[in-house]
Structure 1
Amino acid sequence: MHISFTRHDPDISQSCKAVTEYLDKENTSREREYEEFMEDIENQALSDFDKQIELQNLFFSQDDNEQEVFLNQNSATDLIDANVSSRAKERESKFFILNISPSKDELQQLNEIVGAELKAAGIGEKETQLLSQSESGAKQLEIMRNDLMHQCLREYTKDVMRDYAQNFNRKVYNNPGNLPTQKEEKQINSETRKELAEMKIDRKDPGYAQKYQEIREQKAAELGRDLSVRKMTEKDLVWIAKVEEKRTYKGNDKWVIENRKAQREIKKLEAEDKPDREKIALLKAQLHTDRTTGEIVREGLKKGGQQYHVHVVVSRYDNCPNARYKGSISPLAHHRNSRMAGKIAQVGFDRDSFFKKIEQSFDERFKYERRDSYEKFNEQKKLRTGKNTRTRHATKAVSVLSKPVRDELYKASGAEELQKLDVRNAVSRELGFRVPLSIPKTPLQLATQTVRSAIAKITDTSKGY
């Protein structure tokens, strides 16, 4: 699992609008592909499945009371832009971008889970083969698998943001609606420092920070205010995210640069009066090609294979409604104990610990047996450089998909009727992510029609028609 952090550049813009507009770029092609598929279906009424597919074009965020939260591009932009501390500096990054990129092996594990989930819901190898015999049936399978991948990655992103929040080891206020005013806070801080001085406890004392907080809470309580704190969780973060399915080669990619240089040399050699054919052939053979498609790599070329990844835009500040008390949190901060807003606070982010934890979260959620870990890579890197060395239970049933598919497909094919599927045995419940998918009435009708058509042809052939 690879996760990178990108800092917002406040010199370009104070808003994240450009970022959210960029992340919306896949919507047009996705909508067009789905609409073309739906044109082949007689009943165009919006089903639950249609609505679910539309969610792929929206941003998602932290669940609210176990319900998924989705936002359009404007609402997502406003959520990040509005969450700013009154102490924010103009040239300070207001948000950070996390790029979550599963490895090839991790994506394969998700594919296997998707296949197992569909099988548990009634679409096994036999049904898959029958559906794959027609273009429309194959498209339906692709849509269902893709939607499951989106759901898996949304759930995992929430795990990542949980680990992100925990890694800061920060405190937030228990009662943000009853915090002191600016004048009251100055009085509380002054009296606290004076009392600590009388107790002869200075800043170098290991227990200074804890004692400072205890006295501040006491002084605030005397004024009828509440400065008590608790550990920060993912619910205190402000973030939005989007699952993406495609990647293209950028102009500054190493392979693009090297190919561009080689192609210039090839063009120069070919223009000579007596071209060196052997050298030209050698240069062409050395051009980088996409490992999946075999196409010569160039700027703008779509990368082959599955390219699922997630972009997260997370605010620099927690979601305290009082702008004066919003805490500043940066994943790029190296230091540990420091001063923030006049108070001692742990503001650093331990990236090594974070990378290990998010791998562990993936392994636990998706039952993945990891061979190449970040820790192993780090140890090998140290040797090369000479240095020393939640599970959420699903609450939705698969019956929306499983019962009609089971009844229709097995009845039409003449196969023995299966016992009723038990949702308690569903793969989604075992793994703890929110599947199943809402499945479709219209695509389901198409699946049934496809299977029936295939069976009818086989029957007709056997009778000699």
Structure 2
Amino acid sequence: MYITITPQKLGSTFSQSAADYVEYLEKENQNLEIEDMEHFFNQDGEKLNTQEVVRDIDANTSKLKKVEPKFYAITVSPSQYELRKLQNHSLDLKTYTREIMKDYAASFNREINGKAISVRDIKYYAKIEHQRTFKGTDVQVRENQPYATRILKCKDEIQKIKRGEIIGDVSKLEKKIARLEREAPHQLNGKRITQGMLKAGNQSHIHIIVSRKDMSNSYSLSPGSKYKSSEVEFNGKLVKRGFDRDAFFNRAEQSFDRLFKYERNFMETYEARKQFIKDPKIYFSVLLGLPANEKAMAFKMLRERGVPMIPAIPVNKAQLALKVFNKLKRGIDTAISSGSIGV
């Protein structure tokens, strides 16, 4: 489970409205029949139209400055293993969304009118998507880029030859292009992976737009708060503040496991990924000390994520050679890279 929480992009080149982001989330509905479309929903509503979403998010910004985000974008991406536990991806992910928004609310160390924050205080709209495309930052696109550059150079030379600007052998250049296309390290269905290409397999995931202000438009609820969970004295009173991201990510995993009876491997847990970032040596020692079946599954998952595997990895953590460790670390760094807030 990969969850990212990203603040609204602000600045002179970005709109203060949620309209552009909402329009972006409508991209999959283009050219689909009405019955096949995915619509926005929230805790109680279904098939909400985009105009309503934009209007409600844009209007819920009382006392926020231009330099403050008006909403946050949460992306929830279940793994292929997690998705296999779902019976109906659209319906099950909607159920899951409504559950984790309770987890989101519970992760605020805040009170409204003397009561803890609940999902009824959160203004949000969500949408399920079933496709993903390769981005320029994906490792497959980046590692294919040298080949793409050479292919582009060959195509440019072909055009110059056809225009009579240079002398050359078009047939030879076309054969070179074909060879470079085949030699690119990352392929999908026999084609070189490029930016914008659809990813294979089940890619269902969730996008959630969460207003910065609460449902009453009176209280600011920021998941990007630098305060994890604390109290501060304000006008002579102790006031709770902060958002516990660790608690949210852990609760989100637990909710999925409870709803769909999913048995989570150590490698899939947020705590494991956090341990890897904090102390990779401990991460690997725990990984190597797992029961045989769980360890085998963990390494199978790592291989499927493109992490380089070294034959005969030593069982004793003291035998972990630095060269082996660094190669594994580089691979996992790429595999678990994430958004601006969270992992």
Aligned counterparts of 1:341 and 1:239: Cα–Cα separation in 2: 29
2:101 partner amino acid:
M
DSSP 3-state at the match of 1:71: coil
Aligned counterparts of 1:266 and 1:98: Cα–Cα separation in 2: 37
Q: Tell me which residue corresponds to 1:90.
A: 66
2:7 partner amino acid:
R
Aligned counterparts of 2:111 and 2:134: Cα–Cα separation in 1: 41
Aligned counterparts of 1:340 and 1:102: Cα–Cα separation in 2: 40
DSSP 3-state at the match of 2:107: helix
- Given the superposition, is the C-alpha separation of residues 236 and 309 from structure 1 closer, same or farther in structure 2, using an over 3 Å criterion? same
Q: Tell me which residue corresponds to 1:9.
A: 9
Q: Does structure 2 conserve the Cα–Cα contact (< 8 Å) formed by 1:289 and 1:296? A: yes
- Given the superposition, is the C-alpha separation of residues 159 and 91 from structure 1 closer, same or farther in structure 2, using an over 3 Å criterion? same
CA drift at 1:263: 2.4
**Alignment match of 2:142 (pick from 233, 253, 257):** 257
Aligned counterparts of 2:15 and 2:177: Cα–Cα separation in 1: 48
CA deviations 1:133-159 (Å, max 9, x no partner) are xxxxxxxxxxxxxxx321111110011
**Alignment match of 1:379 (pick from 252, 258, 275):** 275
1:331 partner amino acid:
P
1:138-177 → structure 2 map (5 Å cutoff): 148-173=88-113
Aligned counterparts of 1:252 and 1:105: Cα–Cα separation in 2: 24
Q: Does structure 1 conserve the Cα–Cα contact (< 8 Å) formed by 2:110 and 2:242? A: no
Q: Does structure 1 conserve the Cα–Cα contact (< 8 Å) formed by 2:182 and 2:192? A: no
CA RMSD for the aligned pairs? 3.1
Q: Tell me which residue corresponds to 1:104.
A: 80
CA drift at 1:29: 2.8
Aligned counterparts of 1:386 and 1:278: Cα–Cα separation in 2: 47
CA deviations 1:300-325 (Å, max 9, x no partner) are 211111110110000011112xx5xx
**Alignment match of 2:198 (pick from 288, 302, 307):** 302
Q: Which has the larger radius of gyration?
A: 1
Aligned counterparts of 1:257 and 1:94: Cα–Cα separation in 2: 33
Identify the structure with the greater helix proportion. Answer: 1
CA drift at 1:332: 1.5
DSSP 3-state at the match of 1:57: coil
Q: Does structure 1 conserve the Cα–Cα contact (< 8 Å) formed by 2:147 and 2:180? A: no
Aligned counterparts of 1:280 and 1:60: Cα–Cα separation in 2: 46
2:6 equivalent to 1:29: no
DSSP 3-state at the match of 1:301: coil
CA deviations 1:160-192 (Å, max 9, x no partner) are 11100000121112xxxxxxxxxxxxxxxxxxx
Aligned counterparts of 1:152 and 1:279: Cα–Cα separation in 2: 45
CA drift at 1:99: 0.5
CA drift at 1:279: 12
1:24-423 → structure 2 map (5 Å cutoff): 24-31=26-33, 53=35, 56-63=37-44, 68-86=45-63, 88-110=64-86, 114=87, 148-173=88-113, 229-266=114-151, 268=153, 281=179, 284-290=182-188, 293-320=189-216, 323=217, 326-335=218-227, 336-337=229-230, 344-371=238-265, 372-384=268-280
Query: Which residues of structure 1 form unaligned runs of 5+?
Result: 35-52, 115-147, 174-228, 390-465
- Given the superposition, is the C-alpha separation of residues 23 and 288 from structure 1 closer, same or farther in structure 2, using an over 3 Å criterion? same
- Percent identity, aligned pairs only, is 37
1:81 partner amino acid:
D
Q: Tell me which residue corresponds to 2:161.
A: none
CA deviations 1:96-118 (Å, max 9, x no partner) are 000011101001111xxx2xxxx
- Given the superposition, is the C-alpha separation of residues 2 and 9 from structure 1 closer, same or farther in structure 2, using an over 3 Å criterion? same
Q: Does structure 1 conserve the Cα–Cα contact (< 8 Å) formed by 2:109 and 2:230? A: no
DSSP 3-state at the match of 1:346: strand
User: How many residues were matched structurally?
Assistant: 265
DSSP 3-state at the match of 2:115: strand
2:18 partner amino acid:
C
Aligned counterparts of 2:93 and 2:32: Cα–Cα separation in 1: 17
CA drift at 1:385: 6.6
Q: Does structure 2 conserve the Cα–Cα contact (< 8 Å) formed by 1:61 and 1:70? A: no
Aligned counterparts of 1:236 and 1:105: Cα–Cα separation in 2: 33
- Given the superposition, is the C-alpha separation of residues 267 and 20 from structure 1 closer, same or farther in structure 2, using an over 3 Å criterion? closer
1:358 partner amino acid:
A
2:20 partner amino acid:
A
- Given the superposition, is the C-alpha separation of residues 83 and 252 from structure 1 closer, same or farther in structure 2, using an over 3 Å criterion? same
TM-score by length of 2: 0.68
CA deviations 1:231-269 (Å, max 9, x no partner) are 110111000011011111223434223323222225557
Query: Which residues of structure 2 form unaligned runs of 5+?
Result: 158-167, 287-343
CA drift at 1:89: 1.6
